[in-house]
Amino acid sequence: MTFEIIHKPTFTNQLLLIPKERVVQILEKIEVLRNEPKPHGNLKKKLHGYKGNVYRLRSGDYRIIYTYGDGWVTLLGVDARKDVYKGSKLVAETPEIDISNLPDLETILSPEIAPQPPIIQEKDQKTLLPVTIDEELLQSLRIPQECFVPLITCRTLDDLITVDVPEEIRNRLFDCITTPNFDRVLAQPSLVTGSTDDLLRFKQGNLLGFLLKLNPEQEKYVNWAIDAQGPTLLKGSPGTGKSTVALYRVKAIIEALKAAGIEKPKILFTTYTNALVAFSEQLLTSLLGDDIKYVEVKTADAIAFSLVRHESPKLLTTKQARKLLKQALSKAITSLPGNKLQRYAQQQILDRLNPDYLLEEINSIIEAREITTLEAYQATPRNGRKIPLNKTQRQAIWHLRSQFYQLLKQNNLVTWQQLRTHALQLLRQSPNPPLYDAVIIDEAQDLDPNGLRILIQLCRAPNRLFITADANQSIYGSSFRWRDIHSDLKFVGRTGILRINHRTTQEIDLAAHSYLNESVIDCEIGDREYINNGALPAVRAVNHAEDEAILLTRFCQHRDWICSLTESIPHGQTATREYRLGIGSCAILVPTAESGTKLAQQLNYQGLEAHYTDSRELDLHKQGVKILTLKAAKGLEFPIVAIAGFLTSSFPTIARGTPQDVKTEIYNRERRTLFVAMTRAMRALLIVVPAQKPGILLQNFDPQWWNLGVVSS
């Protein structure tokens, strides 16, 4: 039996440090594992002291650390450290630092004076980094030249944690100068090794990286129903890898199209946010190699805008929309159709519904669904809208729409929904539309119906549509039924569900789902499985902005101790060495740009480097804490997440006099927004809420799932 070889990032990081003349021998030993990984004599032995099954294979003075299972071998690490025996057992080496005095989460987040790190003797400080970081070491690890100066100044472990370099660079150094905890390495993403020749090419600098290894559940859906008669839908909770499967689906579709005789296929991959376009392009380049030339990565709105660009449309801003709607309301109320009783009923509904709700009705229900007549509007099911509207009430809204559209035309403005509809009409009328051989739509739940119709119209055949979606992460617009979008969107027998969460800990995911509760849209996903476990996420209440900044600073600066709570760590192992997280691993998600800007100023005043950024300017490699809005974080992930900024910004913003059923609909949508924000956290999550008059969405956290603490005064 031949075993498939896969590896973890720590293995290739450590391989970079092995002298060239020794690498060939190590690669030959790996081929031994391909044929038989079971322990045998002194050559292959099991390491004790780990939770997982971890083994070592000798290769001269070096040892290859690995694990194996049914048909596969995973390479975990390779180094020159000596084996350690205790009695008759071969045991794992342990770091030298004692964490018995590290504070726990309650102490870190308590309103008293922040805990101090344990005192390290001068002798220990000098030996904390076991090697001197010099140019020769950095060159062998392929560290970019611009990182040399800050890294060479590092003398202690804390220096390496706080130095301003990308996390990938920091991890590479940690892997090569400290002893990894291979239980932690086991939880890293698995990469496809291929042949040992690829490892040699990587060592020589001729191979940039390796592809992510899908687990069996994900792998199943890469080629699943690829030759079916209709489109395929893949669903799953946050962190289950829907987007990763979508990327691999691109590769599978290109191969299938080439096999069918299409030598130069044209593929469209759409993602919802601008922040994810560059990220997806990078992954696809690594996955496809030269075949990336067949793929375009864009947002749906970028495509819509490109179709009408020649007309130079002037898009309506939120501020302009509210101003024009107010004017439209004044005109509509004085010109309502019908008799006196009918006009009174129509005025009542316009007075009852707040302007934002009316805008959503016009944009997300009428325009987004391409409703062009009052009769069609009166007959249309309004899925996702909680407030029932009879025919007379809909007539009032239709009349308001007419007045609103007149004002838009007078001011030469269009809404995004109008732009999409117009782009769709041009596409349908075009004698030579820019068609794609296949279209992959990632995170489809937040696209408007007319936006989805554009993407469907661009696809040559419905069976080449692949869609991922999670209705419970819908934070824009309103719900819809797939069959109402297009007659081709029938997924009977072609709907897959991913259930294994690879991103967040079980505790964070369960807490987030307990919070979502009554706002759940899709109950079909059912039971979920988890790879990682950890501590309960925390909720803390504060009275003042200064208290909030102090609490967040404490949380981010002690991120290593917080992460040490995520599982039982043997005596003598530090969370710093476990997680190697710099300050750039932290993100703070806020309700508005204004609250994010203020919070960044307060954190910098506290001595914590923090930057507010929008999704277009987001740099995931930038040093410092990243602050972005709840909605801008969609599709991203961070090891450490805090959700804050509610002291200076009400959430959600609801006008006085808004009817309760309207409020309920808004609350449900924004509860999903917070759910999405919570599930961006991989290892640690803190929510900071106002102690005085918290909004309805910022209270009643279930203590079964959340670590609730005292108010910071």
Residue-wise pLDDT for 481-521, tens only, equals 666 666 667 777 788 899 888 888 899 999 998 998 765 55
**What is the pLDDT confidence band of residue 207, given thresholds at 50, 70 and 90?**
low
324 close to 404: Cβ distance less than 8 angstroms: yes
User: Residue holding tokens 């917070």?
Assistant: 674
pLDDT digits over 106-130, tens only?
666 665 544 444 444 444 444 467 7
224 close to 232: Cβ distance less than 8 angstroms: yes
pLDDT attached to residue 526: 62
Report the C-alpha gap between 610 and 387 in whole angstroms: 42
| 78 has a pLDDT exceeding 50 | yes
| For residues 171-186, average pLDDT | 83
pLDDT attached to residue 620: 64
pLDDT top residue among 706 and 170: 706
pLDDT attached to residue 170: 84
Q: How many CB atoms lie within 10 A of CB 636?
A: 19
| 578 has a pLDDT exceeding 50 | no
Amino acid letter, 53: N
Q: How many CB atoms lie within 10 A of CB 1?
A: 7
pLDDT attached to residue 270: 95
| 285 has a pLDDT exceeding 90 | no
pLDDT attached to residue 554: 86
Q: How many CB atoms lie within 10 A of CB 162?
A: 16
| For residues 128-138, average pLDDT | 85
In the chain the first and final C-alpha atoms are separated, in Å, by 65
pLDDT attached to residue 480: 59
| For residues 607-620, average pLDDT | 79
The conformation of residue 630, written as its DSSP 8-state character, comes to T
**What is the pLDDT confidence band of residue 700, given thresholds at 50, 70 and 90?**
confident
- Select from 54, 55, 59 the least CA-distant residue to 29: 59
Instruction: Return the structure tokens found at 221.
Output: 């859906």
Identify the H or E element spanning 529. Answer: strand 529-532
Lowest mean pLDDT among 48-52, 205-209, 224-228, 671-675: 205-209
Report the C-alpha gap between 371 and 380 in whole angstroms: 9
The conformation of residue 301, written as its DSSP 8-state character, comes to H
| For residues 663-668, average pLDDT | 84
- Select from 321, 267, 313 the least CA-distant residue to 292: 267
- DSSP sequence for 564-609: HTTS---TT--HHHHH---GGGEEEEESSHHHHHHHHHHHHHTT--
Residue 587: strand pairing partners: 626, 641
pLDDT digits over 378-422, tens only?
998 887 787 889 999 999 999 999 999 999 999 999 999 999 999
pLDDT top residue among 635 and 262: 262
User: Burial, 254: exposed, middle or buried (Cβ in 10 Å; 0-12, 13-18, 19+)?
Assistant: buried
| 429 has a pLDDT exceeding 90 | yes
pLDDT attached to residue 381: 86
pLDDT top residue among 211 and 74: 74
| 703 has a pLDDT exceeding 60 | yes
Q: What's the mean per-residue pLDDT of the chain?
A: 84
**What is the pLDDT confidence band of residue 81, given thresholds at 50, 70 and 90?**
low
**What is the pLDDT confidence band of residue 566, given thresholds at 50, 70 and 90?**
very low
Share of the chain above pLDDT 90, in %: 46
pLDDT attached to residue 86: 59
Report the C-alpha gap between 635 and 618 in whole angstroms: 13
353 close to 387: Cβ distance less than 8 angstroms: yes
Instruction: Go through the chain and tell me how many residues it has.
Output: 713
**What is the pLDDT confidence band of residue 332, given thresholds at 50, 70 and 90?**
very high
pLDDT attached to residue 559: 56
**What is the pLDDT confidence band of residue 97, given thresholds at 50, 70 and 90?**
very low
| For residues 586-592, average pLDDT | 93
**What is the pLDDT confidence band of residue 438, given thresholds at 50, 70 and 90?**
very high
| For residues 133-141, average pLDDT | 90
Lowest mean pLDDT among 252-256, 388-392, 411-415, 656-660: 656-660
Lowest mean pLDDT among 56-65, 95-104, 653-662: 95-104
Report the C-alpha gap between 159 and 621 in whole angstroms: 18
pLDDT attached to residue 624: 83
| 315 has a pLDDT exceeding 80 | yes
pLDDT attached to residue 612: 93
| 449 has a pLDDT exceeding 50 | yes
| For residues 349-353, average pLDDT | 89
